[in-house]
Amino acid sequence: MKKWSELRKMLKLHEKWRKKFAVICCVLAVICFGTVFFVVYDMRRSYAISEEKVEELRKLSEMAEPIKTGEEQTDSKGEDLQAKAEQEKVENPYAEVFRKNSDMAAWLFIEGTKIDYPVMQTPEDENYYLHRDFYGNEDQAGCLILDTDSRLEGDMTTNQIIHGHNMRVGTMFGELDLYQDEEYCKDHSRIQLFTREMERNYEVIAVFYSQIYYTTDLVFKYYNFFEADTEEEFRYFYDNIKELSLFDTGVEAEFGDRFLTLSTCSYQVEDGRFVVVAKEVEPGDQFLQIRD
């Protein structure tokens, strides 16, 4: 009898702890679910706020009127060619955005996509805007960044490289990997870059996967190509991007052409990258000087 009594007590104690354990598990599950929900909600809210700020900048460009300034001048022997050239210039549609932050190097736009963002460049600290918004506030999405070795004005480099986060919500360069589809690439092959001086137009020439290699690796590193001073340097870049391209875009280039390279993270390998290279084609409008 005594043994049965002790056994019943043990069973009751076991049942008691089983119920407590079940309650604890339920509480922990609720806490975990709540934490995950809060983190996801907070991230999406943060991304939404980030997009709202960019949308405000986009609206500033929509408000701008692309007008030509100055009156028609008649030709004469003493014609001021520089003044005539100024007459052909128009107001930069992103002038107000440029005025808001001198770190802005350009505005990148691809019609029919979400890629419609300011491009920042800070030579003293290339990663400054990696996790900061246009205004310098903390933001996980960061901004699109023009590589410090790229030059858009003055003595331009042969290749401009723009880096951006591959955001799962599709913002920044979150849609860039859609270019791996040939039809999508054809439908969105035109890329526009608005600098302080002019509108530059590009057409996609190559789409490929790559990665960040060790410095000792003797392989083609697209992210190290900025200048082609010789035809040999040009051929090395051109032949490699064509060979790596997932498909033939039908666009060709020659020595003297300029390029725009868009680069984002990819996860096919460690430190993977997805890359879209475009060749500069016909120039767009020349812009008037932006005054404060």
Token couple for 168: 């799962």
CA dist., res. 140 & res. 132, Å (int): 7
Q: Is 26 designated active site?
A: no
Tell me if residue 201 falls in helix, strand or coil: strand
Identify whether the C-beta of residue 226 lies closer than 8 Å to the C-beta of residue 158.
yes
Distances 91 to 58, 118, 147, 208 between C-alpha atoms, Å: 16, 18, 27, 36
> Tokens 């190509």 sit at which residue?
225
Measured CA distances, 194 to 92, 200, 208 (Å): 8, 6, 25
Query: Which residue among the candidates 14, 32, 131, 165 is catalytic per the annotation?
Result: 165
User: Do the Cβ atoms of 115 and 173 come closer than 8 Å?
Assistant: yes
Residue 74 structure tokens:
């008649």
Q: Exposed, middle or buried: residue 37 (CB in 10 Å: 0-12, 13-18, 19+)?
A: exposed
Look-up of token digits 């001198």:
102
Closest to 146 measured CA to CA, from 173, 175, 126, 124: 126
Q: Do the beta carbons of residue 107 and residue 119 sit within 8 Å?
A: yes
Active site residue 165: yes
For residues 204 and 275, what is the distance between their CA atoms, to the nearest angstrom? 11
CB atoms within 10 A of CB 245: 18
For the record, the structure tokens of 88 come out as 């052909």
Just list the catalytic residues: 165, 265
